[in-house]
């Protein structure tokens, strides 16, 4: 059995971005967008769950950093098979770049303590940087295997992984503990399990319970698994100067909505005459042929 930590991020669904998506200071206005479980983090969760299938007794802890609302993806992960969730939330984290994020996550991982494997998505769709996984591995001083497509074998303290490269693949072997990032070609995450949905649908963080009714709270007193761990910066012993905007070496100087240099376009129809004219024109100009 293994102890696995899965890193996940709640991301704005960048496929449906509106005009109020950005704030004046150049950071993302997350409140204005639908929030989803970052797709490749779901691939990472599935790789963890497959290990759990093979090795009963494996414990999977889902860790996310974000606003209070990010607890949504922890519940989502628990419905699909994660054993526990940890929310790392604090105003001090606001504006973190990838380096400050990886620092905060590494502090939380140290607080969780013992682990054999850390799994994370290769990249998040709101930034596409693919930086946080390797940066966390470096902070923890452990090896990394990026772009994992399949876990080929896991025996005692050695793992063998198939990595997807741009133009091929690689089979690598590494001793535990190791951080692995999952590629989108890894198996899709299994759906919610109905029994787990019933069990965990009232799982909440401390912040969420602050606004809950008394009888709701009473049910929590009896069932400790309904309490999602919530930590702030102080809880994980992180140094404030390394967090948030202050701890981020990269600053956004400027954000622009790009206006294209519009060309004078000639609009054609799909009629034979128009298309034949265009092909003649391209041939005459030696653009084609």
Partner 1 sequence: MNNVCVYCEFEEGKIQDVSFELLTKGRSLANQLNCKLEALVLGEGLAGIETEISKYGVDILYIADDKRLCPYTTLPHTAVAVGLFRETKPQIVLMGATSVGRDLGPRISSSLTSGLTADCTNLEIGEYEDKKTGRTYENLLYQIRPAFGGNIVATIVNPDNRPQMATVREGVMKKEIISETHKAEVVRPDINQYLREEDLVVKIIERQVESSKINLKNSSIIIAGGYGVGSKENFNLLYELAHTLGAEVGASRAAVDAGFTDKERQIGQTGITVRPKLYIACGISGQIQHIAGMQDSAMVISINNDANAPINKLADYVIQGNLENIIPRMIRYYKRNIK
What gap in Å lies between CA 262 and CA 84, rounded to an integer? 52
DSSP state of 188: P
Q: Which of positions 237-266 make contact with partner 1 (CB under 8 A)?
A: 248-258, 260-263, 265-266
Chosen residue from 120, 137, 180, 182 binding partner 1 by CB under 8 A:
137
CB of 202 to partner 1, least distance (A): 33
Nearer to partner 1, 94 or 171 (CB): 171
Chosen residue from 59, 110, 139, 209 binding partner 1 by CB under 8 A:
139
Q: Output Rg (C-alpha) for the chain, integer angstroms.
A: 23
Q: Which of positions 40-69 make contact with partner 1 (CB under 8 A)?
A: none
Nearer to partner 1, 61 or 248 (CB): 248
CB of 35 to partner 1, least distance (A): 14
Nearer to partner 1, 194 or 262 (CB): 262
Interface mask (CB under 8 A) for partner 1, residues 24-43, using x and -? --x-x---------------
Contact 77, 37 (CB under 8 A): yes
Contact 200, 163 (CB under 8 A): no
Q: Which stretch binds partner 1 (CB under 8 A): 51-59, 80-88, 213-221, 278-286?
A: 278-286
Which H or E element spans position 146? strand 144-155
Residue 88: name the closest of 68, 61, 103 by CA. 68
Interface mask (CB under 8 A) for partner 1, residues 192-231, using x and -? ----------------------------------------
CB of 271 to partner 1, least distance (A): 9
Nearer to partner 1, 116 or 208 (CB): 116
φ/ψ of residue 104, rounded to 5: -60, -45
The length of the chain is 289
> With binding defined as CB under 8 A, does residue 132 bind partner 1?
yes
Token pair, residue 253, equals 């100087």
Q: Which of positions 171-190 make contact with partner 1 (CB under 8 A)?
A: 171-175
Other C-beta atoms lying within 10 Å of the C-beta of residue 192: 16
Q: Look at residue 191 and give its three-state secondary structure.
A: coil
Chosen residue from 10, 58, 89, 135 binding partner 1 by CB under 8 A:
135
Q: Which of positions 140-159 make contact with partner 1 (CB under 8 A)?
A: 143-147
What gap in Å lies between CA 85 and CA 66, rounded to an integer? 13
Q: Which of positions 101-120 make contact with partner 1 (CB under 8 A)?
A: 102
DSSP state of 211: T
Chosen residue from 56, 57, 113, 168 binding partner 1 by CB under 8 A:
168
Determine how β-strand 84-88 pairs with β-strand 178-182.
Answer: unpaired
Q: Where are the alpha helices (DSSP H) in 113-193?
A: 132-140
């Amino acid at each position: 059995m293994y102890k696995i930590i899965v890193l996940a991020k709640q991301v704005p669904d960048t496929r449906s971005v509106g005009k109020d998506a950005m704030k004046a200071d150049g950071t993302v206005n997350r409140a204005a967008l639908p929030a989803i479980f970052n797709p490749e983090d779901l691939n990472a969760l599935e790789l963890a769950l497959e290990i759990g299938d093979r090795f009963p007794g494996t414990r999977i802890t889902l860790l996310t950093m974000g606003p209070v609302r990010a607890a949504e993806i922890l519940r989502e992960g628990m419905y699909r098979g994660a054993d526990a969730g940890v929310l790392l939330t604090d105003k001090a984290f606001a504006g973190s770049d990838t380096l400050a994020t990886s620092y905060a996550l590494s502090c939380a991982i140290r607080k969780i303590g013992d682990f054999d494997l850390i799994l994370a998505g290769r990249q998040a769709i709101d930034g596409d940087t693919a930086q946080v996984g390797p940066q966390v591995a470096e902070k923890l001083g452990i090896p990394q295997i990026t772009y994992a497509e399949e876990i080929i074998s896991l025996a005692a303290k050695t793992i063998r992984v198939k990595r997807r490269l741009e133009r091929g693949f690689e089979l690598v072997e590494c001793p535990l503990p190791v951080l692995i990032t999952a590629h989108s070609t890894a198996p899709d995450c299994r759906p919610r399990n109905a029994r787990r949905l019933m069990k965990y649908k009232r799982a909440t963080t401390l912040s969420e319970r602050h606004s809950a009714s008394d009888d709701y709270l009473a049910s929590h007193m009896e069932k400790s698994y309904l309490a999602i761990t919530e930590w702030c910066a102080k809880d994980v012993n992180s140094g404030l100067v390394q967090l948030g905007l202050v701890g981020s070496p990269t600053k956004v100087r400027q954000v622009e909505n790009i206006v294209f240099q519009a060309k004078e376009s000639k609009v054609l129809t799909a009629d034979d005459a128009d298309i034949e004219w265009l092909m003649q024109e391209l041939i005459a100009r030696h653009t084609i042929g």
